[in-house]
Amino acid sequence: MTKTAFTADSIASFATAYPETPNKLNHDLCSHPLLQLPALVELASKLRPEHVEHNQGDLPIGIAPEDVPEPALDIAETIRSIEESGSWMALKFIENVPEYHELLVETLGSINPAVCGKTGAMENLEGFVFVSSPGAVTPFHFDPEHNILLQIRGSKVLTMFPAADESIVPPQDHESFAFGEHHRNLVWKDSMSAQGTPISLTEGEALYVPVKMPHWVKNGPDVSISLSVTWRSDWSVAESEARAMNALLRGAGLSPTSPKRWPASNIGKSFAYRALRKTGAAKVARSLLG
């Protein structure tokens, strides 16, 4: 029988909140051997170099990608000295290492029924491990996947912002993101602070983060290790395709209506974009109109 990472109460709570409401869960992966620092040094050596990102930890909440400074230490040394290096790092696409793929599948298995019943089958399962120095900041950003962030060691605070508020993330940024032209980091304005909701995570807690919900992260006073398990769904893919279709319409001089949040399907624009993409017309149109 497959081991369940989340408690039964957490799974029930998640099923009610999914897919639009941030939701805390409890898990039992804190002592998992694959998620301890020595194993993560080895994991970093097995991943493709471009799938290991490390940054200084004293970044501001908002920063343009080109302004992020180059890290001073290499990957292994950053992990080994994480208590004093003032850094944070992300080990990306850990599912490409077999034992971590198994961990990812087992972790997500218990919530699969709740997901499939609302947004369709889990697709494109991916995993990320974040190792952060005390006080490190992950700048303001959003992610295109459904995401559960499990706190393995230490603590952090995620400050979350309304996903549908276009005064926070303009439609044009969503549309560029759909074409891979916009970095995950978002423009930050101090005036947006009051719209944020801080949610704290300690060891043994996890947080479900809805698709494209903007947030920034502040580490607690100790070293932090977090595991992010993500998936796409029929709904999230359709939303992204509808955004891409809107980019083409906007490039043609129109003012398209933004896709709606779940339970709206956005299937009309999604199908239209798929048809254009299948013929190669979408790429041509984006290059001409973008």
Condensed to tens digits (0 to 9), the pLDDT of residues 239-272 reads 999 999 999 999 889 999 999 999 999 999 999 9
Residues 219 and 283 in one domain: no
Q: What is the mean pLDDT of residues 141-149?
A: 95
Residues 282 and 214 in one domain: no
Residues 162 and 254 in one domain: no
Q: What percent of the chain has pLDDT over 70?
A: 85
Residues 250 and 227 in one domain: no
Structure-model confidence comparison of residues 290 and 11, the more confident one: 11
Q: Is residue 247 part of a domain?
A: yes
Residues 224 and 242 in one domain: no
Average the pLDDT over each of 4-8, 63-67, 115-119, 139-143 and give the range with the smallest value. 63-67
Q: Is residue 1 part of a domain?
A: no
Q: What is the mean pLDDT of residues 184-197?
A: 92
Q: What is the mean pLDDT of residues 180-189?
A: 82
Residues 198 and 258 in one domain: no
Q: What is the mean pLDDT of residues 269-279?
A: 90
Q: Is the pLDDT of residue 71 over 60?
A: no
What is the per-residue DSSP string for 146-171? EEEEEEEES-EEEEE--TT-TTTS-H
Q: What is the pLDDT of residues 203-238, one digit of tens each?
A: 999 999 999 999 999 999 999 999 999 999 999 999
Q: Is residue 3 part of a domain?
A: no
Residues 281 and 195 in one domain: no
Of 211, 233, 255, which one is at a domain's C-terminal end?
A: 233
Q: How many whole angstroms separate alpha carbon 187 and alpha carbon 178? A: 17
Can you give the pLDDT at residue 1? 36
Residues 137 and 34 in one domain: yes
Residues 100 and 67 in one domain: yes
Q: Is the pLDDT of residue 183 over 80?
A: no
Per-residue burial over 66-103, b if 16 or more Cβ lie within 10 Å, else e, is: eeeeebebebeebbeebeebbbbbbbbebbebeebeeb
Residues 252 and 115 in one domain: no
Range of the domain at 175: 8-233
Residues 224 and 269 in one domain: no
Can you give the pLDDT at residue 234? 94
Q: Is residue 174 part of a domain?
A: yes
| Under 8 Å between Cβ of 227 and 156 | no
Residues 165 and 253 in one domain: no
Number of domains in the chain: 2
Q: What is the mean pLDDT of residues 173-179?
A: 90
